[in-house]
Structure 1
Amino acid sequence: MINLTKEINKASLAEFHENLNHDVSNNALRHAVAEVGIYKAAQNIEAKSKLNPAFNVEVPTGKVTNQKRSGRCWLFSTLTNLRTEFATRYNVKDFELSENYLSFYDRLEKANYFFQNIIQTADMPLTDRKVNWLFASPSGDGGQWQYGANLIKKYGVVPSYAMPETVASENTSEFNSTLNNLLRKDGMEIRQMIKDSQPTDERVQEMLSDVYRICVYSFGQPPVDFELSIKDDNGKMIEDPSITPKDFFKNYFAIDLNDYISVMNSPQTSKKYNQSYTIDTQGNIVGGEAEKFFNLPIERLKELTIQQLKANDTVWFGNDVGKQSERSKGLLFGDLYQYDQLFGIDTKLDKGDALDTRNASVSHAMVFTGVNLINDAPNRWKVENSWGEANGDKGYFTMDDKWFDENVYEVVINKKYLTSDELAAFDQEPIVLPAWDAME
């Protein structure tokens, strides 16, 4: 046991008190913070004037979506890319795909993915970090762009009317709690069966049947086929009396999901640029494509994003939305809250150290739909969020370039914009990172 000896004593407290009273401005500041809170007291009043929502490169888009009280931002953002293409191609500005349809299969597939990982690690102790990580969150709302791509390839897509949201799909806390309780119990049973040299296939199938039932009760029954009936903005009908979700995607969308890769910016000393990475146990479909990240400097992420936007193609991106942001006004400003000036402290960590210490994380996914360029250099970005129209400019946020530098970690880019050297490096076998890596 470590013997800790340095304690806070009366002399320490007296010194702290004296230091506080040494500067008379502290009295006014402590009253201000106590009255309005840290964020309001520290907010940079120039932020809104510098985030004018006007952009000289902009992809035409419609109404934003709303993930409500769920963690499905990655899926909403993936489908935003698809629906923007559909809306442009078929002149249907406010068209929306069903997030609930893919959420259903995501949770069923994640349960199977968990069971297979439990089988693979059954000979390892529960105290092993990987096993502990698996049981900590057997199934959740979160995910990556590749998760969405895997689901779409396997199950197709449907319009929102074909499988609308439910109370459970829009507020997933009860569903998550119920399902994770069941999966942990099932996981322990699987480990015991393997320890006792019993076959697991039939029992796992029964377990998945239970998960399927929970998903149907909570999210509804996914359609095998549906009537396609959409009126475009000129009043012309897009119709098909019966079409499957896979045929709908195949016949009505031009996007090739295999053309897109995840380009990340992780300036940690443990990671190299021009190197591809993947994360152990990160996935949602057994047999699906694993998430593969290609690490590049932040300036290169910007260049690639601008190229794609100029080609009228929106950009999925992973970020740490809780940092230097104001939800109701839709502000993403690198110097929005000036805590250091307020308290006379220094909290600045560089991006790599922030990831290493878990001071930063990839906590959210949104979509770039525009950028403003001055002499070919970006100074602000247009962002489509999935928090409904009540936030920002009817749901759209404005980001300054410093926020991009510090809080954007991943963009999904068409491979045609990468150089031949970058593509060759990406195609190399990825380094496998542990399940608990900061980029998970």
Structure 2
Amino acid sequence: MSCLRPALMGALCLAFAAPAFAAPPTPAETKMIATVEAERERHIKLLEELVKVNSGTMNLKGVEQVGRMMRAELEPLGFDVKWVPMEKAGRAGHIVATHKGNGRGKRMLLIGHLDTVFEPDSPFQAWTRKGDIGEGPGVGDDKGGMVVIVAALRAMQAAGTLKDADIIVVLTGDEEDAGAPIAVARGDLIAAGEASDVALDFEGLSRDGDQDIGSIARRSSNSWTLKATARSGHSSGVCMEGPGCGAIYELTRILDEFRRELAEPNLTYNVGVVVGGAQASVAGDKTGGQATGKSNVIPAEAIALGDIRTLSNEQEARVRAKMQAIVARHLPKTDAKLTFDEGGYPAMAPTEGNKALLAKLNDVNTTLGLRQMPQGDPARRGAGDIAFVSFIDGLVGLGTAGDGSHAPGETVDLKSLDVQAKRAALLMTRLSKEARPRK
């Protein structure tokens, strides 16, 4: 629709560009909005202090220190804060903080994480601020999200709405590299989900230009290993009746058939490492491998490492079956085996309940005079902890907006901290007044 014509067409353009009309915020909502604005610099300072502590996943002491900092923020708000050690999973641990309300409203689970991808040996360690842009390791993923949680809860306390809210906050210490076994590493999160009605994920806000996007789904992330074996021999007999085609041809056949036959909406499948030769192996941490052989020797071993990402667990099962069927079509005198690693992330499929939550968030946007948030493409987000509790309604991306996540130069838009805290405070207050479902 063109917005160049005056009069009626111009009025229609304004109607589509502006947020919908709504009743003004309630006195409690006005107080929450004012509190977030008044405490802006406090929360930016908290973000700075969190970023200055290295909490790479394997820096266990750093993760614990960030956990202590978050405890100091949550306990004064009336939360019973527990540190759950994760030695059995080879990780630092998690924060589980519980706030008891009046027992009548929706029970809410707030999800974030203490760790970052930047270990102590990373050259990217410093916090800097230039106006409304903050830069530092994990500034948006997910230390900005944790600050949004604090800012929203403080606003609710100031307005008197926190006292009635039943909330569990789970801040995992290994979201960037989950420990194993996953049943242990995510057991406390799953238990918190079972005690809740709604999950709110405080990882980064999705944007398309200057348009904030609503996220109601996350794809899975699961790794696989493919190993092909074959008879070795002199290359002069390759693909002949005696020695057969060799392991590398078999591996190549399978990978190319994956490429040609697996494609469907919301699915990606990646090959990250390939090694092959007379002998081949991959490192224990699966970050590389090695192979030996000669150009005139038919290779006996070939290995590929990759991942698949799906939008639902049903899609995951279907794709895995298709992959196994492709693997089974062996070239002469070859064999191959496809295995899937334990400890992957499940999918969080879009549901009607999740869509209804986004609609409630858009009601908040209307109250705040903000644009409506359209439903985003889950392919633009990675996997996340909220998928482990996808058996309850959930929203993704209530944290800060920024750029360069997981890379040196990661930034956060500090203005988004205010906006997201206001959205979260109003949404949680409204959810706390909704009758919880009977179970």
TM interval, short-chain normalised: under 0.3
Compute the TM-score of the two structures, normalised by the length of structure 2.
0.26
Higher helix proportion: 1
Query: How high is the TM-score relative to the length of structure 1?
Result: 0.26
